[in-house]
């Protein structure tokens, strides 16, 4: 079997979408399944064994980490030469939309997976006037595919309510060996706490951008003496956040990868995740696997994985008082330890191979069904 992917974002950009796609590519390679990726032309020509078909485009002024442009006739020729059996559209927009047309031309089945909530995004950035278009586009695009996949039950319900007809679950997993409490490291804790390792260390990991509502974490620092915050990641809101947190115990760690990221998770006390919108929130499971309880807004897949009062606490996005109270409840040292052990135990049940095998099984079913038509 040969799988062609169409994605609006890929390496060298690092985010949840890219992380999940790379994990799936690794899984396919381990299963002996050939894959290729159609993505914005950002410099990556291969990902390990997987070739990348670059699509020319222009950088977005408000989002310079991305290039936007439609696939071309040259793109189609490369896709056709790959001889795919099935196409997987990762959060289809411009590249994925054209990818659908290419797949139809080639006569192969299609899967569309949901990774970015365009409707909430346009509302959040004050572009609500185009929300009817984004809802229409989502419904039409996902219905045009043979099957749609949602990352959480919440998103699955929302897609069905929107009018998307065939929606299954592509649940998220975690590498419980890569993210593990054994990576706890005194030097990393000292670094993230700016030399105050005995203080309560709150950790956020992810993109620094407006929709993550990281400014809300100021209230937790102001109301909880002895609390410190480490922000792991980077993004367009970094300068604004540095000004917002001026004078408060906040450490900006920048992007961390590999073992450094594993050590950062395991060396903190509590993950804080106040995002206003999320399709799942991979960092929540990564933190739990590292032995951290979680305080997170009720977005994406958070309510699928956080057990209230057992592995963490949740609050409504934008509710600063609810965030502070959740952190306060979790911050007791004995409770932190017990919740951290429970978080790790849950994460051990959420491994990637089982989740990825479900996607491979779907590919096989769609290819077999198309052959019998």
Per-residue pLDDT at 179: 97
d(CA 119, CA 155) in angstroms, rounded, equals 12
Structure confidence at residue 127 (pLDDT): 64
Looking at the structure, tell me whether residues 288 and 242 fall in a common domain. Answer: yes
Q: In terms of domains, do 285 and 188 share one?
A: yes
- Using one digit for the tens of pLDDT, what is the confidence trace for 142-186? 999 999 999 988 889 999 999 999 999 998 889 999 999 999 999
Mark the ranges of the chain whose per-residue pLDDT is less than 70.
61-64, 118-128, 279, 372-373
**pLDDT at residue 372, rounded to an integer:** 67
Examine the domain organization and report whether 304 and 330 are in the same domain: yes
The pLDDT score that the predictor gives to residue 14 is: 80
Domain check: are 119 and 162 in the same one? yes
Residues 158 and 262 in one domain: no
| 209 plus 76 within the same structural domain | no
Q: State the total domains in the chain.
A: 2
Residue 359, domain CATH? 3.40.50.2000
**Which residues constitute the domain of residue 334?**
181-347
Is 202 in the same domain as 167? Answer: no
Residue 245 sits in the same domain as residue 295:
yes
Whether residues 39 and 136 share a domain: the answer is yes
Does residue 191 share a domain with residue 152? no
pLDDT at position 324: 96
Tell whether 365 and 333 lie within a shared domain: no
Could you tell me if 164 and 189 lie in one domain?
no
Instruction: Tell me the whole-structure pTM to 2 decimals.
Output: 0.75
């Amino acid at each position: 079997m040969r799988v062609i992917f169409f994605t609006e974002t890929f390496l060298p950009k690092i985010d949840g979408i890219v992380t999940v796609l790379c994990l799936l590519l690794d899984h396919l390679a381990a299963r002996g399944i050939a894959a290729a990726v159609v993505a914005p032309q950002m410099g990556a020509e291969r990902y390990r064994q997987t070739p990348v078909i670059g699509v020319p485009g222009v950088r977005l002024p408000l989002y310079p980490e991305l290039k936007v442009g439609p696939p071309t006739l040259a793109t189609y020729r490369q896709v056709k030469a790959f001889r795919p059996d099935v196409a997987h559209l990762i959060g289809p927009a411009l590249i994925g939309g054209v990818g659908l047309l290419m797949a139809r031309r080639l006569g192969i089945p299609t899967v569309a997976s949901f990774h970015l909530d365009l409707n909430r995004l346009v509302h959040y950035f004050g572009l609500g006037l185009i929300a009817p278009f984004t809802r229409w586009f989502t419904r039409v695009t996902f219905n045009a595919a043979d099957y749609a996949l949602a990352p959480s039950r919440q998103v699955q319900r929302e897609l069905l309510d929107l009018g998307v007809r065939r929606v299954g679950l592509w649940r998220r997993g975690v590498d419980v060996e890569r993210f593990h409490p054994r990576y706890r490291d005194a030097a990393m804790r000292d670094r993230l706490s700016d030399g105050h390792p005995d203080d309560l260390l709150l950790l956020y990991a992810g993109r620094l951008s407006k929709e993550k509502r990281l400014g809300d974490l100021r209230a937790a620092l102001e109301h909880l003496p002895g609390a410190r915050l480490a922000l792991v990641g980077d993004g367009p809101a970094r300068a604004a956040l540095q000004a917002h947190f001026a004078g408060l115990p906040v450490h900006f760690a920048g992007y961390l990868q590999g073992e450094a990221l594993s050590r950062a998770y395991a060396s903190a006390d509590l993950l804080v995740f106040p995002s206003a919108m999320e399709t799942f929130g991979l960092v929540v499971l990564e933190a739990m696997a590292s032995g951290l309880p979680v305080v997170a807004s009720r977005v994406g897949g958070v309510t699928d994985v956080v057990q209230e009062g057992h592995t963490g606490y949740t609050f409504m996005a934008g509710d600063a008082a609810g965030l502070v109270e959740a952190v306060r409840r979790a911050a007791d040292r004995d409770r932190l330890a017990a919740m951290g052990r429970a978080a790790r135990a849950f994460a051990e049940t959420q491994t990637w191979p089982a989740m990825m095998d479900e996607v491979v099984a779907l590919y096989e079913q769609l290819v077999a069904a198309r052959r019998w038509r």
